[in-house]
Amino acid sequence: MYSAIEGTNILTKNTDTLVHTTVNLTNLLNNTKVRQVITEDLANYLEHLLNNDTSSENIRNNVAHRFKQSDFYSKERSQTLIHALLQVCVRCKYK
């Protein structure tokens, strides 16, 4: 989706400086064009669910930094993630 919207993937190279940079989840969810596609409400929900330090879920951080063991991700949490993914897919018109 990000590639279709911005014309580049989340790993980009600045041609002026030849520096590789990545777009992290917060950057992606705060991107104005992305927010127009998935809606403000869904972007805020995903930020809270996946990446917010005030959320007990903070799934991206918990997984990436191994703050939680795998058994923390129960059936219910897995269903929440599937629901979030489906919400993105329903709103996304890009392939």
Q: What is the pLDDT of residues 35-59, one digit of tens each?
A: 998 999 999 999 988 888 777 778 8
Q: What is the pTM of this model?
A: 0.73
Q: How much of the chain, in percent, has pLDDT values that exceed 90?
A: 19
Q: Which residue has the tokens 């709103």?
A: 91
Give the CA radius of gyration of the chain.
15
The answer on pLDDT for 68 being more than 60 is yes
